[in-house]
């Protein structure tokens, strides 16, 4: 197929970054949600002038250059500020980098909950703004086209910028800057070492409806550490009452780990861990190597991979705010989210959702078995308590 527009990109390749829609000189491309709740480009053949700019900006059609070999580029690290550490998913590295950027009169882009608890990319230039961006959000994050336009203007201003997001979104943003001729030397790109994938916003909207049946939804967290980092919780505050559910004993864990609820390219990600050109990759550092005793307190620890010279500079500038050590490698850092695409099973999953409803979907696909209750609810906490896990 001739690649003169992004109609040549298949659903199992498109990441929904919107670079194609923003680069089109005649506005021939708009984004539309499919039956699974994921946005895909729709091309108007009447308007398309076949200039090919959208294909050049599409990360699915690009070959990525191998990352530069940065020596001693892998670290275990955590924030020294205990409050930031507690409110972060792992070691608080994003919070430290974001605070540094704000302190340099810079701008931070990241993912936050909106007032009605939709998950979306947002812009911040204050410490209060970056507090909203802390913590993992296991949902496909919406990025408004107007926000991307603001981002491009911010980049052109020369201000120091931190952009934190999924690797595929970063690939699209970098391609858009390149094709617009915008020098993004002032942007530090931070992605996730091992991205868990984008769960459909349709499912999250239904989950929030269930929460609201109990009252007014006031606060949500996917990674609450009140009961410890290794047993982090799905947390909600509803009409003043707090609810905690061990994440591994939540239905959302099943959706996050399932093949059918995530965007198709997530099942075989080609972007994570700096492959898309991110300067720094961050994630969980689970205890698989010999670590200092002070880190074995179940409060959280991050892996930090430095992918570029720029990433090394930013990391060096925040070291005074971190407790850290260099590491060689660890088997817990391997990306292991490659899954076979089961088209028939996926169709059945979404047929249940649309025809029988979210409750029935949860009953069939997100039920916690008695074995999981024993393993995750009884055995795992015991192993953590005695220090084996």
**Sheet order of strands, 241-246 included:** 217-224, 233-238, 241-246
Q: Do 321 and 91 meet the contact criterion of CB atoms below 8 Å apart?
A: no
**pTM value?**
0.93
Number of H helices, E strands in the chain: 14, 13
**What are the DSSP E strand ranges found in 260-313?**
280-284, 302-306
Strand pairing partners for 119?
A: 113
The pLDDT value recorded for residue 329 is 67
Give CB contacts under 8 A, 24+ apart, made by 101-107: 101/160, 101/161, 101/162, 101/188, 102/126, 102/127, 102/129, 102/130, 104/160, 105/159, 105/160, 106/159, 106/160, 106/161, 106/162, 107/154, 107/159, 107/160, 107/161, 107/162
Query: Which pLDDT does position 211 carry in this prediction?
Result: 97
Q: CA–CA separation, 191 vs 163, rounded Å?
A: 8
Q: What is the fold, at CATH topology level, of the domain defined by 6-61?
A: Alpha-Beta Plaits (3.30.70)
57-112 pLDDT per residue, tens:
999 998 876 666 677 789 999 999 999 999 999 999 999 999 999 999 999 999 99
Whether the Cβ atoms of residue 154 and residue 163 lie closer than 8 Å to each other: no
Model confidence at 337, in pLDDT bands (50, 70, 90)?
very low
Query: Which residues does 210 contact at the CB level (< 8 Å), separation at least 6?
Result: 358
Beta strands in 201-338 (DSSP E): 217-224, 233-238, 241-246, 280-284, 302-306, 322-326
Mean pLDDT of 378-384: 82
The average pLDDT across 148-163 equals: 96
DSSP per position, 39-106: EEEEE-TTT-----HHHHH-GGGPPPPPPP--TT-EEEEEES-HHHHHTSSSS-HHHHHHHHHHHTT-
Q: What is the pLDDT of residues 229-269, one digit of tens each?
A: 989 999 999 999 999 999 999 999 999 988 899 999 998 88
- Which residues face 242 on adjacent strands? 237
Q: Which residue has the tokens 């093949």?
A: 259
HEC per residue, 241-266: EEEEEEHHHCHHHHHHHCCCCECHHH
- Give me the residue spans of the domains in the chain: 6-61, 74-198+262-333, 201-259+342-385
CA distance 2 to 160: 40
Average pLDDT over residues 341-363: 93
Interhelix angle 145-157/167-179, rounded to 10 degrees, is: 60
């Amino acid at each position: 197929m001739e690649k003169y527009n992004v109609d040549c990109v298949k659903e199992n390749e498109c990441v929904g970054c919107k670079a194609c829609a923003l680069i089109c000189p005649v506005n021939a491309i708009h984004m539309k949600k499919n039956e699974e709740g994921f946005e895909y480009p729709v091309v108007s053949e009447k308007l398309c002038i076949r200039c090919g700019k959208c294909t050049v900006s599409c990360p699915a059609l690009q070959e990525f250059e191998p990352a530069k070999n940065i020596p001693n580029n892998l670290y275990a690290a955590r924030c020294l500020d205990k409050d930031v550490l507690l409110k972060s998913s792992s070691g608080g590295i994003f919070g430290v980098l974001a605070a540094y950027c704000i302190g340099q009169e810079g701008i931070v882009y990241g993912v936050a909950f909106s007032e009605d608890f939709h998950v979306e990319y947002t812009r911040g230039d204050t410490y209060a703004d970056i507090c909203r961006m802390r913590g993992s959000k296991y949902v496909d994050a919406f990025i408004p086209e107007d926000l991307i336009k603001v981002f491009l203007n911010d980049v052109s201003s020369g201000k120091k910028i931190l952009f934190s997001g999924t690797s595929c979104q970063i690939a699209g943003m970098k391609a858009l800057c390149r094709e617009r001729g915008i020098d993004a030397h002032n942007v530090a790109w931070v992605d996730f070492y091992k991205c868990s994938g984008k769960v459909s916003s349709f499912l999250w909207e239904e989950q929030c409806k269930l929460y609201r049946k109990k009252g007014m939804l006031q606060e949500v967290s996917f990674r609450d550490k009140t009961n410890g980092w290794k047993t982090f919780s799905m947390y909600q505050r509803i009409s003043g009452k707090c609810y905690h559910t061990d994440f591994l004993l939540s239905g959302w864990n099943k959706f996050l780990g399932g093949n059918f609820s995530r965007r198709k390219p997530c099942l075989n990600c080609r972007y994570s861990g700096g492959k898309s050109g991110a300067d720094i990759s961050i994630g969980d550092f689970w205890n698989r190597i010999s670590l200092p005793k002070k880190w074995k307190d179940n409060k959280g620890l991050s892996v930090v991979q430095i992918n570029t010279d720029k990433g090394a500079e930013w990391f060096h500038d925040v070291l005074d705010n971190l407790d850290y050590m260099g590491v060689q490698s660890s088997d817990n850092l391997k990306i292991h989210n490659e899954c076979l695409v089961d088209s028939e099973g996926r169709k059945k999953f979404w047929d249940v959702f649309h025809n029988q409803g979210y409750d029935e979907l949860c009953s069939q696909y997100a039920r916690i078995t008695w074995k999981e209750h024993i393993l995750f609810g009884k055995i795992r906490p015991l192993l953590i308590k005695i220090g084996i896990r």
